[in-house]
A = this chain, B = another copy of it.
């Protein structure tokens, strides 16, 4: 027995992350999942229903990943490197960030969806702010501005790098940006042994 709904979510996510929200159709999705177009409407009545479900699933996966990083990695810089590695997966697969894709088409999207996306980003910023604040307290991080502004900058840099390096230098280019980002947060005089093995 196959879980059609899950399959639809998986393939729809890939399509959106590859071609954008307006750039994929129920017909495309129907073809890749090998189901009739009308059957998709049974699971997701409208396209924006599907989009909501997509964001919810994506968000939940990130929630789990953030929690795991926090639990498994004590060092702040390593936590950020691990966070960056989540994006690296996208670059490797040639897929943009779901929420970045949707954010860009923002003006054409339902307001509720835009709110979901905003919450996604806010959550990441808050998480990073916490990580940075702890790192500063522990002396393993040097932040030039307030942690909040730096947190925003880190998310922005990673989102931007995913967007750009998918077209330019691929994983190679992304790793470079991630390394530069992490190095910039290290206190002066601390070596950066591990940044090239992220």
Task: Tell me the A residues contacting B by CB distance below 8 Å.
Answer: 18-23, 94, 96, 100-101, 103-108, 114, 117-118, 121-122, 144-145, 148-150, 152-153, 155-161, 163-169, 173, 176-177, 179-181, 183-186, 188, 192
Contacts and interface: CB of A to CB of B under 8 A. Distances in A.
A184 B152 CA distance: 13
A104 B96 contact: yes
Contacts of A168: 118, 121-122
Contacts of A157: 153, 156-157, 160
A105 B184 contact: no
10 contacts: A18-B106, A148-B176, A149-B177, A149-B179, A149-B180, A152-B180, A153-B176, A153-B180, A156-B165, A157-B160
A161 B163 contact: no
- Per DSSP, are chain A's interface residues mostly helix, strand or loop, or mixed? helix
Contacts of A122: 168
A167 B119 CA distance: 10
Contact of A176 (B152, B160, B166, B169): B152
Contact of A153 (B101, B118, B161): B161
A119 to B, nearest CB: 10
**Most B-side CB within 10 Å, residue of A105, A155, A161:** A105
A52 B152 CA distance: 33
